Structure 1
Amino acid sequence: MYVLHHVPDWASMVVNMTLAELGQSYRLHRVDHEAGALTQAPHLALHPFGKIPVLETPDGPIFETGAILLWLADRHGKMAPPPESADRGAFLSWLFFLSNTLHPAAMDLLHPERPAGPAHARAVAEIAHTRLTTQLGVLEAVIVTGQPAWASEATIFSYYLSMLLRWIEVFPAYDDLAIGSAQFPALHAIARAMETRPAALRAARTEGVSGAFFSNPKG
């Protein structure tokens, strides 16, 4: 059985939903971050930088969201094109775009005080807003033009993207810099499709979210 170390509505959400979609047996271990558990020895033994998520597996713990998702998809042969697929290269490019480009930009929108301190938080958030809007526009065009199957199906890409779309609409540090997915119709459609899947709905209950939690999270 897998053990997912998580905090509700953090990055562990996408791993939670992926495990549910894969039909795997797993247990959620809620990390009490408010009590400082992320910086205590038991958690640091699993994740040396004290972050979420961590997935305990038969092969040992795995951290970093993208790494966990790709490991699960490859291990269970679902939710990603197989290595021999002609779609694999493009899929990996855009999966790592989410992990290495979009996710960090989203964090700058949500926590702009972290890179340069509170005095520069507004400027950091505005830059992040511009970056995200531009990057999502490029991704929108790719989806509309190419219509890749890995974007329209229940893949680790689709779930990861949907979670990030939720975050940048609900949790920006400044309300006027929120980015709604409705301005990107193709991406919005992916979010709508993912939030209605039975596996996502089951996992959503453990995350404390409901309704159109990806496509219209503010209700």
Structure 2
Amino acid sequence: HGRRAAATASVTLYGSQGSRSPLCNWYMHECGVDFEMAAPRDPSNPHPMGQVPALRDGDVALFESGAILAYLADAYGGADTPAERADITKWLVFANATLDPVLFKETPDGKVYDTGVREATPPRALAALEAHLAAAGEGAYLLPSGFSAADCNVGAYLLYVLQFFRDASYAQLPATAAYALRCAKREGYKKAFGEETSAFLVSRLEADLAGGVSKKNGLFGGLF
């Protein structure tokens, strides 16, 4: 897959299952990167606030999931030209700056209280994503070239919604539901998030595509 072989575990990802670090794990599994995990409070964590995810790869030290994915795409994912890197980066920024605030509505003090997926009329960000995926055609990912780091960001965020909100549904966004289903079925996703999580999400999304909303609680007990 990548330009650079990761023959030794020089890559260390600082994270936990309850953070955004699994979406970085996902991409490394997709690229065949050999990596090791470290706890958030490990003294070698390069994040200035001690948060996760963060990453070390030899002399490279990074934090923020979008920056980590952009680096991994460049180093291991075969993003060889400025145009290819820009194609990936625009979706990484879209996921973090535009999509995330819609999917996870927060109070002024940063507490998640709802999701825009529940709105009767899809918010502009979701409507735009739906139009893009519908135009791309059946089986497509965000980029014409196929699966990329961008899908690990956008796909993971879409799938997080179904884990946290028991009555969230993508039934009114069929291209988005089908896309999220493809992401949840990927072996890299299963390795990063777990077989149980993947199976739960596949069940929810298949129900959405069949025209009904699964009544199962969210994976984390249906927090909202």
TM over 0.5: yes
Q: Does 1:100 align with 2:97?
A: yes
Give the length in aligned residue pairs. Answer: 194
Distance 1:82 1:184, change over 3 A: farther
Within-5 A mapping of 1:119-134: 125=114, 133-134=123-124
User: For residue 209 of structure 1, what is the aligned residue in structure 2?
Assistant: 197
Contact 1:166 1:214 in 2 (8 A): no
TM-score (norm 2): 0.70
Contact 2:141 2:151 in 1 (8 A): no
For the residues of structure 1 that align with 2:93 and 2:110, how far apart are their CA atoms? Answer: 28
Contact 1:6 1:54 in 2 (8 A): yes
- In the alignment, residue 76 of structure 1 is paired with which amino acid? Y
% identical aligned pairs: 25
For residue 43 of structure 2, give the secondary structure of its aligned residue in structure 1.
Answer: helix
Report the Cα offset of residue 84 of structure 1: 4.9
Q: Deviations over 1:193-215 (max 9, x none)?
A: 1222222222233x973414377
For the residues of structure 2 that align with 1:48 and 1:128, how far apart are their CA atoms? Answer: 33
Unpaired runs of 5+ in structure 1?
Answer: 32-36
Report the Cα offset of residue 88 of structure 1: 5.3
- In the alignment, residue 211 of structure 1 is paired with which amino acid? A
Report the Cα offset of residue 168 of structure 1: 2.2
User: For residue 141 of structure 1, what is the aligned residue in structure 2?
Assistant: 131
Query: When you count helix as a share of all residues, which structure comes out higher?
Result: 1
User: For residue 65 of structure 2, what is the aligned residue in structure 1?
Assistant: 65
User: For residue 22 of structure 1, what is the aligned residue in structure 2?
Assistant: 31
Report the Cα offset of residue 14 of structure 1: 0.7
Report the Cα offset of residue 192 of structure 1: 1.4
- In the alignment, residue 15 of structure 1 is paired with which amino acid? C
TM-score (norm 1): 0.71
Report the Cα offset of residue 169 of structure 1: 2.7
Q: Deviations over 1:81-105 (max 9, x none)?
A: 54254x6544432321112221244
Distance 1:54 1:214, change over 3 A: farther
For residue 46 of structure 1, give the secondary structure of its aligned residue in structure 2.
Answer: coil
Report the Cα offset of residue 134 of structure 1: 2.5
Report the Cα offset of residue 8 of structure 1: 0.6
For residue 160 of structure 2, give the secondary structure of its aligned residue in structure 1.
Answer: helix
For residue 51 of structure 2, give the secondary structure of its aligned residue in structure 1.
Answer: coil
For the residues of structure 2 that align with 1:195 and 1:90, how far apart are their CA atoms? Answer: 22
For residue 201 of structure 2, give the secondary structure of its aligned residue in structure 1.
Answer: coil
Report the Cα offset of residue 186 of structure 1: 1.6
For the residues of structure 1 that align with 2:31 and 2:37, how far apart are their CA atoms? Answer: 15
Q: Deviations over 1:95-135 (max 9, x none)?
A: 2111222124444x2xx34x2488xx86xx47896697331
Distance 1:116 1:63, change over 3 A: closer
- RMSD (CA atoms): 3.3
For the residues of structure 2 that align with 1:19 and 1:76, how far apart are their CA atoms? Answer: 8
Distance 1:151 1:215, change over 3 A: farther
Q: Does 1:189 align with 2:186?
A: no
User: For residue 74 of structure 1, what is the aligned residue in structure 2?
Assistant: 74
